Amino acid sequence: MNEFSITRRMLRRIGRGIPASAPLAKAAVEWAQPHVGWLFGMGPQDPAELAWDQLLAGVEQTPANDEPRPHVLLLAEELVALLALDAFDAALLTIMIACDRLPRVAALAAVAGRHGHDLPGLLGELSGADPHDAERRVRCSTVLRLGLVGFVANRQGEVTVDVRWALERLLDRAPAAGTAMIDTLVGVRQPASLALDDFAHIDDADFLVRLLAGAARERAAGINILVHGPPGTGKTEFARTIAAAAGIDLHAIGEADDDGEEPTRWERVSALGLAQRVLGPRGGAALLFDEMEDLIGGARPGDGDWFAKREGSKVFVNRMLETNPVPVIWTTNAIGNVDDAILRRMSFVLKLGLPPRSAALRMLDRIALDESVETSADLVHLIDRAPETATVLRVTARASRLAGLNAASIQPAESLVRALRDGELPIDGPDALDIDLFETDIPLAPLLAAMRDSAQADVSLLLTGAPGTGKTAFAHHCARSLDRPLIVKRASDLLSKWVGETEARIADAFREARIRGGVLLFDEVDSILFDRTTARATWEVTQVNEMLTWLDRHPLPVIAATNHPGKLDPATLRRFVFKLRLRPLGQARAALAFKRFFGSEAPRALDSLTNLTPGDFSVVARQLRHLPARSSLDIVERLECESAAKPECGTRIGF
């Protein structure tokens, strides 16, 4: 089928039983006059010599020519083979592309439409349908159901062919047959830039890889994986990684093209159906539908068993999820917008949170290598302070490279983290301390190692001791050792003047820890878990009860710290697996702390100070930044001042 054969068939059909005096005949002759030579295989003719009967006779008598087919018709032929269309749909698709892309065919179709011909019915007859059934077959055709083409009425009410988003992109780009055509029609392949090891913190990653591989191997239908979580947690990159690990290609569905043209909801849904049609028979592929909200519109849970603002048919969506021949990985930021009917049809639902520190550092190393920049200690420190940094590592590294820097700069990362947090950066935690500097009855290093290696994470620790003994620093060290984020809750974060609000905030704190998989630290916990016999109101008792109840059933590490253990409710102690009392440093650890903080052996004079804590050494170390010491004895004198400032004054020494 070429342009000439399409035009001749259309002229034959619209000229059937039409007298020369009819407006359609006159319009057709007017259209034909500039194309007489092409129509009749002869040189240019005088337009005045052409009559309606001559036009019809010439069309009947002129044999088919063998002119080269336009490239759009060659693309149509490749697409027909790719989609395995039957004869009717193959002819219909070719003719509709011709009506859109070939000026002579388009003009003749417009003439027919303006003069009473129903365009869908006309094109259906030209494609081989019976006249009485032509329009119905067109409306129910595969090419229309796949969203490749359609019909649209202009302002004058004339119906014209509408080539839709996916096919328009194919015709505009004119790719070569095979892989290039599939990628253009379905969506670009999504290469993985991270390895499965970068997602080692996701326990279900290996299962999802096996699920995708098994679905591809057995050509299983109805396989859907939903990955949800806050923006920037790496949902798309995770999808790319598990597909690559499963050995299958991942195609992104219905995303903006190179010209920035944004598809509508219906265009994305049609692109999904088209991709299933193209890739289903071939196997070895999965589809990525980012932002699942586009599938159901701006749905919101309603007051009853329904969702407000949902677009499209619920039955259509449900059946599509049950029958899709190619596995689909869906992503969304808000699972609350997805109703239960959709969730029940998922093969797996994964909550993706911020990566732990070790995974973030692996990502940083890999991304820095990809972008040809070095990592920086400042960026590592920002990861410790704000786990959100892991979500902006690639843009940070790229911005640093483009700015001509050799190392990934903290500046773009800080600006992005501030924006994500809608305010200031988190306050610095305590500097890392050597675990050997903690003075306690239970050796901490073996305890942390056992906690890290245990399959059970429901461990709780009560840290008591004077200020500066390292309770908060130990909590930070413990979280880093367990490779979990530290979630700090102080009395100001939890206590409220409204009845019931404190209990709600306590419950929210434990919920946040579960969602983020973090270590929960209650600083100055005596403000919450005070002795209930001292309560002056019933609501004070209920907040203690709320806290104790959550401590009993929380499945993740909890640390509570207090300077005043005597104020705690007696029932508190049995809720904590380990009770660790941090004491001031003995002589051996004080000497070790001196060497670690100041880089030299401790003078003998240090032995006379009996109540030094790691916090005292940290304060003096900060003093040295602004006022350097004259000697080691000068440092000891400063430590003595810190010791003497405490309520329980230490032993004074003289020289």
pLDDT tens sequence across 236-259: 999 999 999 999 999 998 776 545
User: Would you say residue 200 has pLDDT above 50?
Assistant: yes
Measured CA to CA, the distance from residue 444 to residue 518 in angstroms comes to 20
3-state SS class at 654: coil
Q: Are 246 and 240 in contact (CB under 8 A)?
A: no
**The predicted structure's pLDDT at residue 129:** 94
What's the whole-number mean pLDDT along residues 299-326? Answer: 64
Say if residues 483 and 450 touch (Cβ distance below 8 Å). no
Check residues 25 and 307 and name the one with the higher pLDDT.
25
| pLDDT exceeds 90 at position 560 | yes
Task: Please choose, from the candidates 191, 187, 87, the residue with its C-alpha nearest in 3D space to the C-alpha of residue 143.
Answer: 87
Least confident among 123-137, 248-262, 598-612: 248-262
Give me the pLDDT at residue 648, please. Answer: 62
Q: Which CATH architecture has domain 187-298+315-351?
A: 3-Layer(aba) Sandwich (3.40)
pLDDT of the residue at 334 = 79
Nearest partner of 105 among 2, 252, 250, judged by Cα: 2
Tell me, what's the pLDDT at 431? 57
Query: What is the pLDDT, as a whole number, of residue 442?
Result: 87
The rounded mean pLDDT for the chain is 86
Query: What pLDDT is stored for residue 603 in this prediction?
Result: 92
Distance CA 541, CA 490 (A): 18
* Mean pLDDT (whole number) for 467-485: 88
User: Is pLDDT of 303 > 50?
Assistant: no
CA distance from start to end of the chain = 108
Q: Which of 55-64, 303-312, 579-588 is predicted most confidently?
A: 579-588
CA 40-45-49 angle, to 5 degrees, is: 100
Burial class (CB in 10 A: 0-12, 13-18, 19+), 152: exposed
Q: How far is CA 499 from the centre of its chain?
A: 39
Q: What average pLDDT score do residues 487-496 get?
A: 87
pLDDT of residue 652: 43
C-beta separation of 267 from 166 below 8 A: yes
104-113, 127-136, 261-270, 570-579: lowest mean pLDDT where?
261-270
CA distance 514 to 419: 25
Q: In the prediction, which pLDDT does 432 show?
A: 57
Q: What value does the mean pLDDT take over residues 79-98?
A: 95
The secondary element (H helix, E strand) that includes residue 288 is strand 285-289
Q: In whole angstroms, what is the distance from residue 112 CA to residue 165 CA?
A: 26
Per-residue pLDDT at 647 exceeds 80: no
> How many CB atoms neighbour CB 537 within 10 A?
8
**And the tokens for 147?**
């969203």
Whether the per-residue pLDDT at 125 is higher than 80: the answer is yes
Name the amino acid, one letter, at 109: A
CA angle 559, 564, 569 (to 5 degrees): 75
What mean pLDDT comes out for the span 59-76? Answer: 85
Q: Which residues pair with 189 in a beta bridge?
A: 251
* Alpha-carbon span 545 to 213, nearest angstrom: 49
pLDDT in tens, 607-638: 888 889 988 998 999 999 899 988 999 999 99
Predicted local confidence at residue 651, as pLDDT: 45
pLDDT number for residue 299: 47
- Find the range with the poorest average confidence among 199-213, 388-402, 426-440, 618-632: 426-440
Which has the higher per-residue pLDDT, 262 or 97? 97
| DSSP letters for 461-529 | EEEEESTTSSHHHHHHHHHHHHT--EEEE-HHHH--SSTTHHHHHHHHHHHHHHHHTPEEEEETGGGTS
Mean pLDDT of 366-385: 87
Residue with tokens 């008792």: 541
Q: Distance between CA atoms of 627 and 647, rounded to whole angstroms?
A: 26
- pLDDT single digits (tens) 454-465: 888 889 999 999
**Three-class SS string for 102-157?**
CHHHHHHHHHHHHCCCCHHHHHHHHCCCCHHHHHHHHHCCHHHHCCCEEEEECCCC
> Any idea where the domains of the chain sit in the sequence?
3-168, 187-298+315-351, 357-420, 435-581, 587-645
Residue 12 has pLDDT above 60, yes or no: yes
In this predicted structure, what is the pLDDT of residue 307?
A: 42
- From CA 592, how far away is CA 588, in angstroms rounded? 6
| pLDDT tens-place string over residues 563-584 | 888 888 888 888 899 999 999 9
Q: Percent of the chain scored above 70 by pLDDT? A: 91
| pLDDT, tens digit (0-9, with 9 covering 90-100), for 504-558 | 999 999 988 887 788 999 998 888 887 777 766 666 778 888 888 899 889 999 9
Closest CA to 70 of 38, 43, 40, 102: 102
Residue 583: Cβ within 10 Å count:
16
More confident residue, 270 or 651: 270
Secondary structure of residue 68 in the 3-state scheme: coil
What CATH topology corresponds to 435-581?
A: Rossmann fold (3.40.50)
pLDDT tens string 317-332: 788 889 999 999 999 8
Structure-token pair, residue 89: 């749909």
Average pLDDT over residues 111-117: 89
Mean pLDDT of 164-180: 87
Q: What whole-number distance in Å separates Cα of residue 91 and Cα of residue 126?
A: 8
Coil, strand, or helix at residue 182? Answer: helix
Please, are residues 88 and 130 in contact by the beta-carbon 8 Å criterion?
Answer: no
pLDDT for 435 equals 81
Query: Helices then strands (H, E): number in the chain?
Result: 30, 14
Q: Are 580 and 602 in contact (CB under 8 A)?
A: no
